[in-house]
Structure formats: structure tokens, C-alpha cells
Amino acid sequence: MGEIRIEGVWKYFNKGKVAALKDISLTVEDREFMVLLGPSGCGKTTLLRCIAGLEYPERGRIFIGGRDVTDAPPRSRGIAMVFQSYAVFPHLNVFENIAFGLRMQKRPNEEVTRRVNQAAGLMRIEKFLERYPAQLSGGQRQRVAVARGLVMEPQVLLMDEPLSNLDALLRLQARAELKRLLQEVETTTVYVTHDQIEALSMGDRIAVMEIGEIVQVDVPKEVYENPATLFVGGFIGTPPMNFMRGTVKSVNGASAITIGDQVIHAALPAHFQTGQDLLMGIRAENIEASTQSSPDAVPARVLVVEPLGSHLLLTAQVGDTPIKVQTRIDFPVVPDQTIYLKLESNQVRWFDAETGVRFESGEKMSVV
Amino acid sequence: MSAQTNAMRTPLANAEEMPFNAAANKPTLAKTITRLLLYAAAITISLFFLVPIYLIAISAFSPQQAIFAYPKALIPQTLSADTMLFFWNARGVQSALVNSVLVGILALIFSLLVGAPAGYALARFLFRGRDSYKMLILTTRAFPIVILSIPLAVNYIQWNLYDTLWGVAFAHTAMALPTTILVTSSIFIGVSRELEEAAQTLGCNRAQAFIKVALPLALPGLAAAAIFTFVLSWNETFAATILTQRNRTLPALVLAQIADVGAPLPFRYAGGFFLIAPSLIYIFFMRKYLLGMWGQVVK
């Protein structure tokens, strides 16, 4: 019932000179938590505003709950929105802020009181109902904004970076709370963020956007493990995925790939040509570092050692490509030392060197 | 300033650090001189405006003989309401006062009705020619009313607006509009667009979002703009004189009395004081607000 279907939406800015959204199609299932993730300027907020009706796309249709709302104003779309600045009304107290939408619907007083109290209870702001926004902290204002949306019992809840104005500690807490809350209310939610950790931790699915296009839509685990493009791999994860440029070679009749002057034996699918350029992608935690050389390990020179409490983050150079390696905290290493890296073969991903698109897995492109 | 902030940033652990004092001293001397000059300028400008106001005020509240005395006493010997009462009871003054108030209120209403939406549009919408429009608003102030007055008077006669309060109010509205538009636009810029958008997602159409959210938040600023128009209209003499014959506003009446009849000194002083009083009161109460208006009105 609260399904969102976006079909071929284009949105231009600056009198048609800049396309902010290029042929976006996306379906958000009923009760799904969809995260729109991308760097600033990728069009994620514009897409959210198109769903809200605060922007109108030049082309394409938008359906909410099966109804074409492309030309409908925000008030008749069955949506509620939480703004980045919270947009809590400064001239109304918390109660009247939350009640605003219900008052617009001319609900009877006792219903307004009951529903406002219920929403305030859900957000744990019952104690502040009489206060004005100026007397609230950032975190409390954010709760008022969420309560004001939820009280409407919308088909769709839209959130535009609701946590980005909170400080780091509060943000962590608010993230978990928001996730619990949204699991409870089971509203279809579209959540915009540029914070990949937020996206990974909260979303049922993530739509990763890059300059006006959706490059991948999938569950967090897939987006993290099998990024569709170089961009997704580089944007998601701390540290981002490592990429090494290599060339397909044939060594003693078996396929191999050379990275700098390193030869890595790999079972590559037949359609890869000798001499073809590839990008090999692997995450820092899928590389095993050792101080002992072994035949299947790649030597690397350590550039930087960063102890991060629970583990060490090494920056090491393979050929002339710096890569990130995660090791246990007591791994004995100093800068300039040579270490030996074993790549977890089933975690290696191959990308087209020109387009940055990942080659489909299941083709057995592992390192042997 | 920058030297000081830099010094502040040096680690506090090294408390006996000499450069801190050395760095702080020199700019302080320069700053003191700048500050002294600034104060001297401020005092000079204040005196330039305050001395005449003071002289008019003490004369307005002195007995009639004291007004003709020369040299004048800088501190009034006796206070009396005679002079003010003389003015108050002079022929035409009370009806001119009523005219002035009516014209002021009309001008205030018209300028808000026309100017506030224009200011809102300037604040909210990017439209073709927006910057030129802003320039155009300002250039209307460049046309001296002296040049416009004769054609205006001719047209007013044709439109049957001549010698009416409406006519004067329209002229004052036109004069107040540039300020009203620019001031209201700065007020509406201070009201976040997201607030209105939030209202729209909560069931308002554009107009309701404006009335329920933007307007209440802008109200104090709009009130200041409205009073500004009133004071402008209250003080305006030239257009009021040209465009009326019998239905004079107060400044026009005072001017006419002085120019045509050569009104006696008590009338001049009392009239002068009576005319400047509202502006003084307005500025006194609104000064903080007027300064804040250009910064941030609504947080």
C-alpha cells in the first residue's frame, strides 16, 4: 500500500542546462527502508524532493501506493518529511508543532491530543510538549521533527539527512533509536544520507547514486561485498575498497595477472584476453598480512601504520599502488618493512579498467 | 585582530610565552587610536543631529518670551506648555493632524499590500530579471520628486485625486515602496524556505504555508517596516504640499504657514518639535530591531 514506484524521472536545473536526475527508475517496496546514498551533488536530495512533491520532474512518473502523484502537491501525496534542518516551527510549541498536520486536517481536539501524546511518547519528548523549539537541543528538535511526521501516519516517510546536524556521539545513539523506531512503525521510508555507515547500518536496501544516476540498488551486504562499479566500491566502506590495475598474462599456459612487476596467478574466465587491462578490487579486511614470505603471497612495502584500537590499518605499496590492509592490533610491523599479503581469493572482485563496471561473479575469477 | 587570534591559538601550556604579549600590544595601540577616531566621529555626527533637536525641544517648551530672547539660554529657565498649546490651538492644526494620521495609515497599508508580496517574491523565487528588478526598485529613488511633482499634480487633477488624502497616500506609498520591498525581502530571506516546505508536506497549500508559518515569523519585521512607512509619510512635506490645497497634512500645513503667512516663532518651534517627535520615538524603540533586520531576524 505504501509502495513507491519511480519511472524514468528526469529533473533539470539552471533552465535545462544541468540534469540533476537522469532517467531514474526505482521501486521501494511497501514497508521497506530504502536509503539513497551518494556524495553531495549526486541528486539524492532532489530525488527525495521529487517524491515529496517539492520539486516536479520534467519527465517520468512517480507513483505512491499505486496512485500517480507526479503532478500532485505535497499535501495530497500521503507523505511526511523530516528535513535536514528539522524545519521545526519556531513560533509554535512542541505540542502545536506535532499537531500542525492534524490541525490542518481539522481533527477533533481530543484526537489531536491523543495522537500527539502518542507520537511524543514514541519519540520520548512528552516532557517538552509545552516548550518552544528555541528551548530545545538539536537532538530534541530532531525528535520533534520525526514525531511531527509520524503523527500523520503517512504512507511514506521521507527523511533528508536527519542525523547530519547532530554531533558524533548523539548521532550514533540517534541512529540506533531511529532504526528501532522505524522497525516499530513499519512505514515505507526513504532516507537520504551521504554517510555510508548510516546507510549500511539502517537500510533494508541501499540505492547508491552518482551524478544523477542510480548505480546500484541492493541490500547492504551485497552493496558492500559486490559493488557494481569502481565508484560504489570506493564510496562504501572504511577504508574504501582497494583497487589494483593489472594486465592479463599467460604464464606457463595458466592465466595470471600482472600488477606492476608482480605476477598473481588467477583463474580467469576464458573470454579475458591476454593483454587486457583489469582492475582488481579487494577490501582491507580480506587481505592477510604476514612477515614471512610464501609462494602465494604478494610482497608489499609498508608506508604507514595506523593503530585504530581494535586493529591496525596499514598502508602498503604493491608495485606502485598504495593499498589498505587491516591486521590484528599486535601485528609486528614498522614503516618501510616488507610484508607479504595473501588475498582471500573468493573476496577478490574484478572490474573493467575502462568503464569501472564489475564483471559478474560466478565466473570463477579467483586468485589461486 | 588577526595577530591576536593567532596568538590565542598558540598552546596555552607555555604560559610565560613572551610573543603573546608582544603580539598583543602593537595592535592594541592601533586599535585604541582607531577606536578613539571612531568615537570622535560618532560624537560629531550625533551632535550635528542632536543640537538642533535639543534647541527646538527647549524652545517648544519655553514660555513665549523666552523664544524671542537673544542670546538663547542653553538650559531652559522655566518650562511651560504655552508654546505647544499655541500651536495646538492654531487654525487648521488639528484637522491637519487627523489628515496626517489618515494618510500615514493608508500609506502603511498600501505599501505593505504591494511591497510585502514583492519582497516575498524577491526572497523566494529566482526569476528572470530578478537582479535588474532589484536595481530598478532602487533607481526609483533616484528620481527627484521635484521633477515628478508637476506631471503628477496634472494627472491627479485629471483623475480627481488632487487635494485628496488618497492622492497623498498613493504618493507616499510610491515613495515608501523601495524600502518596504527591500526590507520585507530581507525579512523573508530570514524565514527558512524549509519551514514553508514542511508546512506544505503537512497539509498546507502554498498560501496556507505562507499564512501559517512565514507570516507569523515575519510579523515583527513587517511591523517595523510598516511603522517606517508611517514615519516617512508623517515627515514627507514636498509631495503633500504640491498635491493638496485645503486637505493639508501637518508638515504641509506648517510649511505653508511659514512660507505664506510667516508664522510666528512659537508656532515654528512647537510645530517642528511636534513633527520630529514620532520619528524620535520610533527610532528609539526600533533601533535594535532595525540593526538586526539586516542580519538575522528570525532564528
Residues of B with CB under 8 A from a CB of A: 192, 194-195, 197-205, 208, 212-213, 216-217, 298-299
Longest dimension (CA), chain A: 83
Burial class (CB in 10 A: 0-12, 13-18, 19+), A167: exposed
Partner-chain contact A101 B202, CB within 8 Å: yes
Chain B partners of A87 at a C-beta cutoff of 8 Å?
A: 192, 194-195, 197-198
Chain B's closest residue to A105, CA to CA, is B203
Give pLDDT, residue A253: 64
In angstroms and rounded to an integer, the radius of gyration of the C-alpha atoms of chain A is 25
Output the CA–CA distances (angstroms, integers) from residue A312 to A267, A329, A331, in the order listed: 31, 5, 8
Q: Which of A215-219, B53-57, B186-190 has the highest mean pLDDT?
A: A215-219
User: pLDDT-derived band of residue A251, with 50, 70 and 90 as boundaries?
Assistant: low
**Residue B18 DSSP SS3:** helix
Q: Is residue B8 pLDDT above 70, yes or no?
A: no
Structure confidence by residue, pLDDT tens digits, B236-258: 888 888 888 888 888 888 888 88
Overall average pLDDT of the A260-265 stretch: 75
Q: Is residue A234 pLDDT above 90, yes or no?
A: yes
Query: From CA A66, how far away is CA A79, in angstroms rounded?
Result: 14
Question: Could you tell me which residues are beta bridge partners of residue A321?
Answer: A318
Give pLDDT, residue B194: 92
User: pLDDT-derived band of residue A367, with 50, 70 and 90 as boundaries?
Assistant: low
Query: From CA A126, how far away is CA A117, in angstroms rounded?
Result: 7
Give pLDDT, residue A37: 95
**Quick one: cell of B25?**
600590544
- Percent of chain A at pLDDT > 90 equals 66
Q: Is residue A252 pLDDT above 60, yes or no?
A: yes
Structure confidence by residue, pLDDT tens digits, A76-133: 999 999 999 999 999 999 999 999 999 999 999 999 999 999 999 988 899 999 999 9
Chain B partners of A50 at a C-beta cutoff of 8 Å?
A: none
Name A111's Cβ contacts closer than 8 Å, sequence gap at least 6: A102
User: Where does chain A hold its CATH 2.40.50.140 domain(s)?
Assistant: 244-367
Give pLDDT, residue B90: 79
Q: Is residue B294 pLDDT above 60, yes or no?
A: no
Q: What is the CATH number of domain A244-367?
A: 2.40.50.140
Question: Could you tell me which residues are beta bridge partners of residue A266?
Answer: A367
> Are A101 and A148 contacting, i.e. CB atoms less than 8 angstroms apart?
yes
User: Where does chain A hold its CATH 3.40.50.300 domain(s)?
Assistant: 4-235
Overall average pLDDT of the A133-138 stretch: 90
Chain A partners of B208 at a C-beta cutoff of 8 Å?
A: 104
Give pLDDT, residue A270: 64
Strand order in the sheet with A79-82: A79-82, A156-160, A188-193, A33-37, A205-210, A213-218
A47, containing H or E segment: helix A44-52
Partner-chain contact A81 B201, CB within 8 Å: yes
Overall average pLDDT of the B60-65 stretch: 81
Q: Is residue B278 pLDDT above 90, yes or no?
A: no
Calculate the average pLDDT of chain B: 81
Domain A4-235, classified CATH 3.20.20.70, yes or no: no
Name B127's Cβ contacts closer than 8 Å, sequence gap at least 6: B121
Give pLDDT, residue B228: 85
- Residue where the block lists cell 527647549: B58
**Residue B129 DSSP SS3:** coil
Minimum-distance CB partner of A75 among B192, B204, B216: B204
Burial class (CB in 10 A: 0-12, 13-18, 19+), A304: exposed
Give pLDDT, residue B290: 60
Give pLDDT, residue B20: 46
Query: From CA B249, how far away is CA B107, in angstroms rounded?
Result: 13
Top pLDDT among B38 and B142 is at: B38
In angstroms and rounded to an integer, the radius of gyration of the C-alpha atoms of chain B is 26
Structure confidence by residue, pLDDT tens digits, B147-184: 888 888 899 999 988 888 899 999 999 889 988 898 88
Strands A311-318 and A277-282: unpaired
Distance of CA B39 to the CA centre of its chain: 24
Q: Is residue B2 pLDDT above 50, yes or no?
A: no
- Percent of chain B at pLDDT > 70 equals 87
Q: What is the dihedral of CA A90, A92, A97, A102, to 10 degrees?
A: -140
User: pLDDT-derived band of residue A254, with 50, 70 and 90 as boundaries?
Assistant: low
User: pLDDT-derived band of residue B291, with 50, 70 and 90 as boundaries?
Assistant: low
Minimum-distance CB partner of A90 among B200, B202, B298: B298
Q: For an interface test with B, which of A46, A51, A100, A156 has the most B Cβ atoms less than 10 Å from its Cβ? A: A100
Output the CA–CA distances (angstroms, integers) from residue A232 to A103, A207, A235, B146, in the order listed: 44, 10, 5, 69
Overall average pLDDT of the A231-253 stretch: 86
Minimum-distance CB partner of A75 among B195, B200, B213: B200
Overall average pLDDT of the B107-135 stretch: 89
Top pLDDT among B293 and B128 is at: B128
Q: Is residue A188 pLDDT above 60, yes or no?
A: yes
Q: For an interface test with A, which of B191, B195, B201 has the most A Cβ atoms less than 10 Å from its Cβ? A: B201
Q: Is residue B22 pLDDT above 50, yes or no?
A: no
Cβ of B124: how many Cβ atoms within 10 Å? 17
Q: Distance, in angstroms, between A16 CA and closest chain B CA?
A: 14
Partner-chain contact B194 A75, CB within 8 Å: no
Overall average pLDDT of the B32-43 stretch: 93
Q: Is residue A311 pLDDT above 50, yes or no?
A: yes
Query: From CA A207, how far away is CA A47, in angstroms rounded?
Result: 11
Chain A partners of B299 at a C-beta cutoff of 8 Å?
A: 90, 134
Burial class (CB in 10 A: 0-12, 13-18, 19+), B194: middle
Distance of CA A216 to the CA centre of its chain: 10
Q: How many CB pairs under 8 A join A and B?
A: 62
Give pLDDT, residue B13: 39
- Lowest-confidence segment of A265-269, B80-84, B121-125 by average pLDDT: A265-269
Q: Is residue B185 pLDDT above 70, yes or no?
A: yes
CA geometry: angle A226, A228, A230, nearest 5 deg = 100
User: Closest Cα partner for B65 from B74, B75, B52, B77?
Assistant: B77
Partner-chain contact B197 A148, CB within 8 Å: no
Q: Is residue B297 pLDDT above 50, yes or no?
A: no
> Are A306 and A312 contacting, i.e. CB atoms less than 8 angstroms apart?
yes
Q: Is residue A149 pLDDT above 70, yes or no?
A: yes
Structure confidence by residue, pLDDT tens digits, B69-79: 777 777 777 78
User: pLDDT-derived band of residue B135, with 50, 70 and 90 as boundaries?
Assistant: confident
> Are A153 and A9 contacting, i.e. CB atoms less than 8 angstroms apart?
no
Residues of A with CB under 8 A from a CB of B: 52-54, 73-75, 79-81, 83-85, 87, 89-91, 100-101, 104-105, 134, 148, 152, 158
**Quick one: cell of B51?**
543640537
CA geometry: angle B12, B18, B21, nearest 5 deg = 85
DSSP-derived secondary structure for A22-44 = EEEEEEE-TT-EEEEE--TTSSH
Query: From CA B187, how far away is CA B154, in angstroms rounded?
Result: 37
Structure confidence by residue, pLDDT tens digits, B9-18: 434 434 444 4
Question: A185-219 burial, b for 16+ CB within 10 Å, e for fewer?
Answer: eebbbbbbbbbbebbbebbbbbbbbbebebbbbbe
Give pLDDT, residue A130: 93
A352, containing H or E segment: strand A349-352
User: Closest Cα partner for A41 from A158, A180, A194?
Assistant: A194
Structure confidence by residue, pLDDT tens digits, A137-148: 988 999 999 999
